Amino acid sequence: MSAAKWENDEEIKIFREYLRIPTVHPNVDYTGCVEFLKRQAAGLSLPVDVVYPVNEKNPVVIIKWEGSQPELPSIILNSHTDVVPVFPEKWTHEPFSADLDSEGRIFARGSQDMKCVGTQYLGAIRALKASGYKPKRTVYLTYVPDEEVGGHLGMRELVKGDYFRNLNVGFSFDEGISSEDETYALYYAERTLWHLRFKISGTAGHGSLLLPNTAGEKLNYVVNKLMEFRKSQLKRLAEDKSLEIGDVTTVNLTQLRGGVQSNVVPPLLEAVFDIRIAITVDIPALEKQIRDWCEEAGGGIELEFEMKNPFVEPTKIDASNPFWVAFKQTLDDLGLKTRVRVFPGATDSRYVRYAGIPALGFSPINNTPLLLHDHDEFLRADTYLHGIEVYKKLIPAVADS
């Protein structure tokens, strides 16, 4: 199909319109996004609410498709409306132009992460409603802000409130990651996220001396211990080809701070680590090990958790979870090859699961370069439209389970 034919496809037009709304960090303005979603709801003859879990700068848009048995636990089709920053000089297309090239590639920030899913839900519902289908369970489309910076002003607070509790949610759809081969990744859990700052105190003085118990020595000890642990996780990945990055614990030094002058031994050095803990790890034991290393280094080290997410139980992926059974069986029936994995990053599903609601992360994107948060992010038009076809099967299967 030529680019001209793609351009005239109504679903592609809607997708590209959404991509052109620059809901980009920092200082996101969601006004245009909310108006777009209200128009979509009106076009589907579905009611829409806009709620503000924290403040009026961070709206959550909820579109309701009432089921024939609304007393049953509902389904949410979740997506986030925000996107990460861009470096326009690194792009060959304007990042918010949604340019469509002769190969059918649509270039825009958010084309993979994750505005595609947000409008694929709409496209599937448009087709299902046109066919006369009505779900058994009520289906809510939830469009949340702030996911790319932690979700603290969106989903995290939304699930705590009466509005969400009144939705009576039984299961949640959310995002996955594009696959570079023919398979599709299906995510049932996420690692536990820590951002851990070490505040390391030591003897200060002149740089010409060999002072005892310096902050630099302690820093060296702690960093070496954490890097040794990091190597053990790399070794696991190398030796067991069945493992992916989400199956191991990642440890990365992300910030260093301290010192005032090159010939002054500083009294304080700080180091920040991003740690994503595998779901198989004993988390209290890991924290104790890190604190033991701090004592072994000579003490005087304060640990400050800038982020310390709680452990969240994975979604059950067995016969005890009828939503899982319906979801997986539908993908199998469609002939889609799936890989059931632990999500390597963090999504809003962790807040939903923490509230006791099963959630699966899935983006119907395969044979596509992984470009989320990268320059020249794109999605092919045919891949996008195929995703709508997938959701046309998935949504009824889960909503009627």
Q: Which residues are catalytic?
A: 82, 147
- Rounded-to-integer distance, Cα 280 and Cα 248, Å: 9
DSSP-derived secondary structure letter, 73:
P
Q: What are phi and psi of 31, to 5 degrees?
A: -55, -50
Contacts of residue 217, Cβ cutoff 8 Å, sequence gap at least 6: 202, 297, 298
Contacts of residue 166, Cβ cutoff 8 Å, sequence gap at least 6: none
Asked whether 173 and 396 are in contact (CB, 8 A), the reply is no
Alpha helices (H) in 20-112, listed in sequence order: 31-43
- Rounded-to-integer distance, Cα 362 and Cα 242, Å: 20
Q: What's the farthest any 2 CA atoms get from each other in the chain?
A: 82
Distance of CA 324 to the CA centre of its chain: 20
Buried b (16+ CB within 10 A) or exposed e, 333-367: eeebebeebbbbbbbbbbbbbebebbbbbbbbbbe
Query: Structure tokens of 160?
Result: 């705590």
Contacts of residue 376, Cβ cutoff 8 Å, sequence gap at least 6: 90, 91, 92, 93, 107
**DSSP letters of 340-390?**
EEEESS--THHHHHHTT--EEEE----SS---TTSTT-EEEHHHHHHHHHH
**DSSP letters of 270-330?**
EEEEEEEE-TTS-HHHHHHHHHHHHHHTTS-EEEEEEEEPPP-PPPP-STT-HHHHHHHHH
Rounded alpha-carbon distances, angstroms, from residue 194 to 221, 250, 252, 304 = 20, 10, 11, 10
Amino acid, res. 230: R
Contacts of residue 267, Cβ cutoff 8 Å, sequence gap at least 6: 201, 202, 203, 204, 215
